[in-house]
A = this chain, B = another copy of it.
Amino acid sequence: MDDRPIGVFDSGLGGLTAVAEIRKILPFENIIYFGDTSRVPYGGRSPEILLKYARQDVGFLRSFDIKAVVVACGTVSTTALPQLKAESDLPILGVVEPACRRAVKMTKSKKVGLIATAASVRSGQYERTIAAIDPTVEVIGAACPLFVPLVENGRYRVGDAVVEQIAEEYLAPLREAGVDTLIMGCTHYPLLTEVVGKIMGEGVELINAGAEAAWELKRTLTATDALANEREGAYKLYASDITGDFAALAGQFLNDTVPAVEGVDIDQY
């Protein structure tokens, strides 16, 4: 058993959807979450800047005595994960590989859709990962650069004409390509589940990348006998910028009331 906390980070608050999944799947674990809200969003930045930011994010989490890191950011998972792993003696889990494994398992048409940020789609990381698992599965990717700003402005509900219109535009090529499984490769996107589901139709399985990472985390901790003892886990939030609407926005992602949040000068890490 190991009661040390798990460190989780994201560019901003989207990764809190992964925290919500971890808390469901691993209710005894303690979690330290860092959201790099002073530099969000990551999705359009270069690989060099993403690696720099990700190293600082891990550096901050490692200022605590943690037992594992979850990269609850699709963009960092696709662009910087190998380097982060190579530099660390702790388990570092991203969202790409668990989501890809699940997608390959689910697809019957052998056509998997991917929606993600521009940087994630550009990286080709999902295609490479799926090809390594099953080279007969085709990946059809779509960059969705407006999804994160929409979600962060509280626009993600069925009935919001703007969101539905943009989602239709992004998703139509995937629907027409006949994908039966869709990886939602950004931790902001679970809030768009209903909108995306409505457009893709009932026959299409939506993969929540954060939830798959939480299951992977459970497998990893179980295999290394590093699960926490069975008492209610605590979680603590840190962020590099705390604006007036922090609690409201964080609450949407957590689907819970938001605990106190503490500021971090991330440049110091």
Q: In the complex, how many angstroms separate the beta carbon of A27 from the nearest chain B beta carbon?
A: 33
If A39-B38, A165-B161, A165-B165 touch, whether A241 touches B46 (CB-CB below 8 Å) is yes
Chain A residues at the B interface, C-beta cutoff of 8 Å: 37-39, 44-46, 48-49, 122, 145-146, 149-150, 152-153, 155, 161-162, 165-166, 169, 240-244, 267
Residues of chain B within 8 A of A45, CB atoms compared = 37-38, 241, 243
Contacts of A149 in B (CB 8 A): 145-146, 149
State the Cβ distance, A174 to closest chain B Cβ, in Å: 18
Q: State the CA gap A46–B246 with chains docked (Å).
A: 11
Is A49 touching B145 in the complex (CB atoms < 8 A)?
A: no
Query: Closest Cβ of chain B: how far from A189's Cβ, in Å?
Result: 16
| Number of identical protomers | 2
Chain B: CB-nearest residue to A147 = B149
Q: A38-B39, A162-B169 are in contact. List 6 more A-B contacts (CB 8 A).
A: A38-B45, A44-B152, A145-B149, A146-B146, A146-B149, A149-B149
B153, B162, B165: the one within 8 Å of A145 (CB): B153
The answer for the CA separation of A165 and B169 in the assembled complex, in Å, is 15
Q: A165-B161, A165-B162 are in contact. Are A44 and B243 (CB under 8 A)?
A: yes
Known: A39-B38, A46-B242. A150 touches B161 (CB 8 A): no
Taking CB as reference atom, which chain B residue is nearest A242? B46
Give the residues in chain B near A150, CB-CB below 8 Å. 146
Q: Which residue of B lies closest to A240 (CB)?
A: B49
Q: Would you list the 4 A-B pairs with minimal beta carbon distance, nearest first?
A: A149-B149, A49-B241, A46-B243, A38-B49
Give the residue name and chain of the B residue nearest to A161 (CB): B165
Q: Which residues of B contact A165 (CB under 8 A)?
A: 161-162, 165
A-B contact pairs, 27 of them (CB 8 A): A37-B45, A38-B39, A38-B45, A38-B49, A44-B152, A44-B243, A45-B241, A46-B241, A46-B242, A46-B243, A48-B241, A49-B240, A49-B241, A122-B244, A145-B149, A145-B153, A146-B146, A146-B149, A146-B153, A146-B155, A149-B149, A161-B165, A162-B162, A162-B165, A162-B166, A162-B169, A267-B267
